[in-house]
Structure 1
Amino acid sequence: MTDLAHFVLGDGPKRVAPFSHAVRAGDFLFVTGQMPTDPGDNTRCVPGGIEAETRQVIANLKSVLAGCGAEWARVVMARIYLTEFARDYAAMNAIWEAEFPPGKLPARTTVGVTGLALGALVEIDLVVAVESGMR
């Protein structure tokens, strides 16, 4: 049976609900969907629309990965949730694509939703390949 490791990071993004930042199962790390929360106040999203929110979500995801000893380059799968799909899809895609080397994009699903916590425009969760000996 695969052992599980639960990560709740004291110096990671402040949680907006009761969850682990990530859970390792075998050679995969499952990262909870991150919000575009203001680093100083987890009760609100960063201002600036979809571009600013997407950049903050990615920064929060990278912070979680660093806290778990995992690497952004090892992202296998992402799920992206957008509340304004038609309006924000292209802008979010441009920012997302720029975060990866050409030809190295992870698998991905993007879903339009009716709402997200804190009134966010975007949320992203990840599955990341990790080394067996990862903490």
Structure 2
Amino acid sequence: MSGPLFHNIAAAPTHVAPFSHAVESDGWVIVTGQMPTVPGGAVDDPLADGIEAQTRQVVENLRTVLNGIGLDLSHILQCRCFLTEFERDYAGFNETYKSFFSIDRLPARTTVGVTALAVGALVEIDCIARRPV
């Protein structure tokens, strides 16, 4: 068993709290929930309008973190998704989310409604990925 590796990716968005972008152990990679913040921008920069645009940015941020450690979206096994306006945004979120994955390789997923997210985001997604063995 290898000890945990704590990854912080220079190309990823600025941290909005004290965390590592990802933590890896024995090929398992836990990626911290990504917000719809833009890499290179400030944490308090305005967010994109609407669930579709914010979902695209969140998944691109997941991709950036995974790419930073030599993985990609196809390595994701499970996602947890958080929506602040669940009933209003669920359909638009699903349409945007599914465009990033092959229909025959959709990660397992849980999506829940929450009262608020950091930086006033409409969506946050974290994930578990696995390195090929």
What is the TM-score with the length of structure 2 in the denominator?
Answer: 0.93
Higher strand share: 1
1:14-65 C-alpha deviation (Å, 9 max, x unpaired): 1111100000011210000000013322223522211110000011110000
Aligned length: 132
In 1, Cα distance between equivalents of 2:22 and 2:89: 27
**Cα contact 1:36–1:45 (8 A) shared by 2:** no
Q: Secondary structure at 1:57's aligned position in 2?
A: helix
Q: Secondary structure at 1:37's aligned position in 2?
A: coil
Unpaired segments ≥5 residues, structure 2: none
Which residues in structure 2 correspond to 1:1-135 (within 5 Å)?
Answer: 1-39=1-39, 40-131=41-132
What is the TM-score with the length of structure 1 in the denominator?
Answer: 0.92
**Cα contact 1:7–1:23 (8 A) shared by 2:** yes
In 2, Cα distance between equivalents of 1:99 and 1:45: 24
The farther-off stretch of 102-111 and 41-50 is 41-50
In 2, Cα distance between equivalents of 1:45 and 1:77: 29
Identity %: 48
The farther-off stretch of 5-14 and 73-82 is 5-14
Q: Secondary structure at 1:61's aligned position in 2?
A: helix
- Superposition CA RMSD, Å: 1.3
In 1, Cα distance between equivalents of 2:114 and 2:77: 23
